[in-house]
Structure 1
Amino acid sequence: MRRWRGNPWAVLLTLSLGFFMTLLDLTAVNVAIPSLMNDLDASLDEVLWVVNVYILILAALLITCGRLGDVFGPRTMFLAGVALFTAASLLCAVARDPAQLIAARALQGLGAAALAPQTMTIIIGTFPAERRGAALGVWGAVAGVATIAGPVLGGFLVSADGWRWIFLVNLPIGALVLALAAALVPDVRHDARHRLDVPGVVLATATLACLTFALTEGERYEWNAWIWTLLAASVLLLAAFLLHQRTRQHREPLLPFALFRDRDYAVMGFVSATVQVGMLGLFLPVMIYLQSVLHFSALQAGLVMAPAMILSAVLSPLAGRTADRLGGKYVLMTGLALFAIGMAGLAALADTGRTWWELQPPLVVAGIGIGCVFGPMVTVAMFNVEPRMAGAASGVLNTIRQTGTILGSAAVGALLQNRLAASLHTEAAERAATLPPDVRARFIADFDHASTGLEIGARPSATPPPGTPPDLADHLRQAAASAYEHGIVDAMVPTLALPIAVIALGALACLLIRHQGTRAPSAPKTPTTETPARTHK
């Protein structure tokens, strides 16, 4: 094992396993919501907190933990994050009530925030510039694979052994990552001593906590006065944070403004947010469509998406290597265009009665597009970042990505809810015309109630009143199923228009990219070669 210490590809495998573990739990828990409610006697509000507290802590602390990696060393923070995440997973698995599970999930979020920014920092410090694109392509592919592996693995574990195994599966992975990291990952540091901007940490954390809470909980609380107060507070706190950072630009700020003077980094920050909106825009309505309209199980729905994500994972390192050699602008634009085209094709194809293989062509196109995005996006963003600022740059970029995830979830969820309310009412009213007058009002009311429920796409009961003749009862059930399925399809199509438009905007933004790759051996040195990291083996 000693001879593998510091080997770039062994290090990348270790980092990717740790990163994959944190992203897996971001999506797998959603599949277990019904089981959690039944087993822990939890309310929907409590179970949604189990999901959202992880996102809240992760998004709020990424910038801070990125800087802590600069102060204490990225290897130290990575090991601490993996250890905390693994221990918190055990606490999740043995939780006996919703409060215990929510607290353990918060600790999981803290562990994920501690380790995630360090992965990119260590990759940059370990790989030479000419191979960094392929490495970051693998790192980016992990995000795409974890997005689909979460629902697939979660559905399998919940179906086979119960929700607790979603967390127990992290224990052997976490133990393996800890052992590999201790043995293989070098201590990549820089000679400069770093100081932590404590007021900046407090302001950044408070800003992101208020923003994340408001966006994740806004729909559930019907965007009441408290939610808008939190949004206003996040704006004021952000202004205070930026003013404070302005005074510290020569004293190691938490957010170095110099990062955004690099046009490529600034553009990739915007593009990474658009990609996350696109991913949420693809997965949220499509997973509902697959399960509620085509009647696939959670596991089957995940498997329908799997070929596209596997293709994405295979292509991502190749796309990163291509971006290294030829520049990322046109690779990214091609990938984003294919992503949008695939989603548009899926929207055009969506209907009741589709088979899984009919959906594969547009999903495969979208998967190819995603595979051409993640690797080059990170390569271009970090190309001109000095190693001494890699922790801060990684933390900021990951925070922007997570903020894009939250914005995408809020925007796509709200639009889907709005379109679902309209389409379910329209479909119910159309089919009610064929029913006896005395059951029409109740039939339509059932759909109106379902469309405003907390669970998007909650199926209306359509239970016939006592004494309903069997023929009429069958007619009611058939009409309800038809209205429900067509209502979801009608809502899904305009909902997909939002992420398609956002992805198209991201593609246009790529025209601003300057980085043209490293084709010429005489290319001028970048800051990454002028200030090498000090590696402790």
Structure 2
Amino acid sequence: MSEPRVLPAPVARPWRVFAAAGAGVVAIFLNISGLTVALPTITRELDASPAQSTAVVLAYMLVTTALILVFGRVADLVGRRPLYLAGIGLFTAATALCAVAFSPWLLIAARMLQGVGAAAFVTNNTALLTDVFPAAQLGRALGWNATVAALAQVIGPVVGGAATAVAGWRGLFLVTLPFGLVALVASIFVVPRAAGQRGSGERFDALGAVLSTVALAAAVVALSPDVPVSPWPSAAVAAGAAAAFVVVQIRRTHPLVDVGLFRIRAVTLVLLAALSNAVATYAIVIMISLYGQGGGLDPAQAGLLVVPVALGTVVAAAATGRLMRRFAPRALAVTGMGLNAVGSVGVALTLADDAATLWPLAPWLAVLGAGTGLFMTPSTSVLMLTAPARRRGIANGLRSTLQNVGYLFSAALALGVATAGLDEQARRAAFAGTLGGVDAAQLAAFVGNLRLACLLFAALSVLGLVVCLFFPRRGPMPALVVADAPPETAAVAETTVR
């Protein structure tokens, strides 16, 4: 384990650092949520195959997920400021490359570079704020940081859809670019050089980093329907790499992941529940966007269609602070998972075969979002209360990583199930948002696949609900107990100070 590290003194004007970092948070999460409505236009205008369309989404998520813990550890060794600046700089440059990409493969490569930059930035964001804010203001700063991410997540589909409607799919990246530039330039001037100074000279677990990346990549390949080989060899590689990773982490003096945390029953339960929640909820927005544009909505309208998910999350997360003073975290987490299941079933039952009536989906999407918002804070609270104080940062890093793993698997699973059994023309039309041109049988099969995926996600929510039932029995608590890990929405993957 790492030796205790003396943190730098808070800076005189920490809110300047917050503002600079906030611009980067907006850039990253605007880009993430906006892509859900831009994907059909990307598919059409770049003439992308179904495999390439899938890769546009998954390549970014795979790279980001694989590097969260890696960059968290690297920051401990080389210092946070250089990695933070390199991350936002690379993300901004890669966003510009995305905007000028002229082929699907170039866009996928640029998205992977975006993922590298986003992982370096987001991994260090919370830790950097912890370095520069005094203890009395830290909870407020972290809460506002999560709020900025949540708002960016809410407006992402709207802004991305409008930009795509006006300027094509490149409009999403052109809208994102100024935020990245502002974050980079401002951070160079306001982030103190003393923030997150180099650590104690411990060795980096390179083998663990490679094994974790191989396990994730192989698992995604196994889940993808567009890989022209049997999924079983990839699944075997994923299982073997994951097993080897665990063995290496147990034997390492300075491991990438402290697997000893999994010996704490409550910690393991929270991490399993967080993974279930992420898999069960993330990709429904992607499916509804494809369904809506296939039913005749333009990108701007599709962006509005999926907003209820994010709005439900934000409203529920904001209300959870007060609810935690009256109800136990276990009760709130169970209720949140239950709402996820209800919302998913409601979406499945409301989907119309001809995709002509779309707005009745909105209430169910809001219920789904509210479930996620109600689950996040109490589950994180349980994690922070049951993990040893000196290991809370690592525990929250594991939660963020498994949450991102869930997002990645959710997208891969949804895209695979949604297009299963369709012919090549229908699969291309599904990604391109042009389902109106396929025959009725293929359209009915696509909608049936979406219903099946929603029911599968509902079952995963029920599984998560059962896990939450075994959370520790604790009474109501002050809302301030979650200051270490504020409410987060969608892919807010942050690692706190170790």
TM-score by length of 1: 0.74
Tell me the residue number matched to 1:329. Answer: 330
Q: Which residue of 1 aligns with 2:298?
A: 297
**Alpha-carbon distance in 1 for matches of 2:339, 2:156:** 24
The separation in 2 between residues aligned to 1:209 and 1:33, in whole angstroms, is 22
Match of 2:93? 87
2:239 is matched with which residue: 220, 235, 238? 235
CA distance in 2, matches of 1:321, 1:65: 35
CA offset digits 1:23-71 (Å, max 9, x no partner): 3333433544454456556555445433332222212222211211222
Match of 2:213 among 205, 208, 219: 205
Distance 1:502-1:328 versus aligned 2 partners, 3 A rule: same
Distance 2:52 2:180 in 1: 27
In structure 2, the CA distance between the partners of 1:350 and 1:145, relative to structure 1 (3 Å rule), is farther
**Alignment-derived partner of residue 312 in structure 1:** 313
Amino acid across the alignment from 1:504: V
- Aligned equivalent of 1:28, options 4, 9, 34: 34
- Measure the CA separation in 2 of the matches of 1:333 and 1:130: 32
Please state how far the C-alpha of 1:322 moved relative to its aligned partner.
4.8
1:498 maps onto 2:474 in alignment: no
2:85 equivalent to 1:109: no
1:276 aligns with 2:278: yes
Correspondence for 1:196: 204
Aligned partners of 1:14, 1:385: CA distance in 2, in Å?
31
Cα 1:334–1:60 change in 2 (3 A) is same
Superposition map of 1:489-528 within 5 A:
489-514=447-472, 516=474, 519=477
Do 2:72 and 2:123's aligned partners in 1 also have CA atoms closer than 8 Å?
A: yes
Q: Structure 1 residues 338, 156: CA separation in 2 closer, same or farther (over 3 Å shift)?
A: same
1:227-252 C-alpha deviation (Å, 9 max, x unpaired): 4323212222222221111112xx22
Matches of 2:313 and 2:164, distance apart in 1:
26
The verdict on how the C-alpha distance between 1:348 and 1:99 changes in structure 2, with shifts beyond 3 A counting, is closer
CA distance in 2, matches of 1:378, 1:120: 15
Change (3 A) 1:18 1:271: farther
Task: Quote the residue 2:343 is aligned against.
Answer: 342
Aligned mates of 2:303, 2:462 — CA distance in 1: 26
Name the amino acid aligned to 1:368.
Answer: A
* Per-residue deviation, 1:16: 4.9
Larger Cα Rg: Structure 1 or Structure 2? 1
Match of residue 5 from structure 1:
13
Counterpart of 1:152 (choices 143, 154, 158) is 158
Partner of 1:434: none
1:459 is aligned to 435
* Cα offset, 1:414, TM superposition: 3.3
Per-residue deviation, residues 476-495 of structure 1 (Å, max 9, x unmatched): xxxx55x5665554443333
Note closer, same or farther for the CA distance 1:91–1:484 as it changes in structure 2 (3 Å cut): closer
Q: State percent identity of aligned pairs.
A: 31
Aligned residue for 1:255, secondary structure, equals coil
- Output aligned runs, 1:33-72, within 5 Å: 33=39, 35-36=41-42, 40=46, 43-72=49-78
Shift, 1:113, TM fit: 1.4
- Tell me, what secondary structure is at the counterpart of 1:199? helix
CA contact (8 A) 2:309 2:368 kept: yes
Secondary structure, counterpart of 1:117 in structure 2 = helix
| Partner Cα separation in structure 1 for residue 321 and residue 76 of structure 2 | 26
Q: Structure 1, residues 476-522: CA drift from partner, whole Å, max 9, x if none? A: xxxx55x566555444333311111111221221223338488489x
For 2:238, the aligned partner's letter is S
Structure 2 match to 1:220: 226
* 1:383 Cα offset (Å): 4.3
- Asked if the contact 2:326–2:476 (Cα under 8 Å) also holds between the matched residues in 1, the reply is yes
Residue 266 of structure 1 aligns with an amino acid whose one-letter code is T
Rounded to whole Å, the distance in 2 between the matches of 1:286 and 1:326 is 33
Aligned partner of 2:263 among 258, 261, 278: 261
* Number of the residue aligned with 1:442: none
Q: 1:347 to 1:141 in 2, by over 3 A?
A: farther
Is contact 1:82-1:178 (8 Å) kept? yes
Gaps of 5+ in 2: 1-9, 485-495
Task: Output the CA distance in 2 between the equivalents of 1:129 and 1:376.
Answer: 22
| Shift, 1:412, TM fit | 2.9
1:331 and 1:372 in contact (8 A); partners too: yes
* Preserved CA contact (<8 Å) 2:161 2:300: yes
SS in 1 for 2:184: helix
Q: CA, structure 1 residues 305+387, in 2 after alignment: closer, same or farther (shift >3 Å)?
A: same
1:134–1:318 CA contact under 8 A, matched in 2: no
Q: CA deviation at 1:320?
A: 4.7
| Residues 71, 154 of structure 1: alpha-carbon distance in 2 compared, 3 angstrom cutoff | same
1:157 and 1:166 in contact (8 A); partners too: yes
CA contact (8 A) 2:38 2:169 kept: yes
CA distance in 2 between counterparts of 1:238 and 1:212 reads 13
Unaligned runs of 5+ in 1: 422-446, 463-479, 527-532
Structure 1 residues 520 and 56, CA, compared in 2 at 3 Å: closer, same or farther? closer
| Partner residue in 1 for 2:251 | 247
Offset at 1:309?
Answer: 1.8
SS in 2 for 1:253: coil
Q: Which aligned pairs between 1:395-474 and structure 2 lie closer than 5 A?
A: 395-418=397-420, 421=421, 450=425, 455=430, 459=435, 461=437
Distance 1:49 1:414, change over 3 A: closer
Change (3 A) 1:92 1:240: same
CA distance in 2, matches of 1:490, 1:100: 33
Task: Evaluate the alpha carbon distance shift between residue 339 and residue 296 of structure 1 in structure 2; reply closer, same or farther with a 3 A threshold.
Answer: same
Output the CA distance in 2 between the equivalents of 1:124 and 1:263. Answer: 28
Give the 3 Å change call, closer, same or farther, for CA 258–134 of structure 1 in structure 2: farther
CA distance in 2, matches of 1:177, 1:401: 25
Q: After alignment, is 235-244 or 347-356 more displaced?
A: 347-356
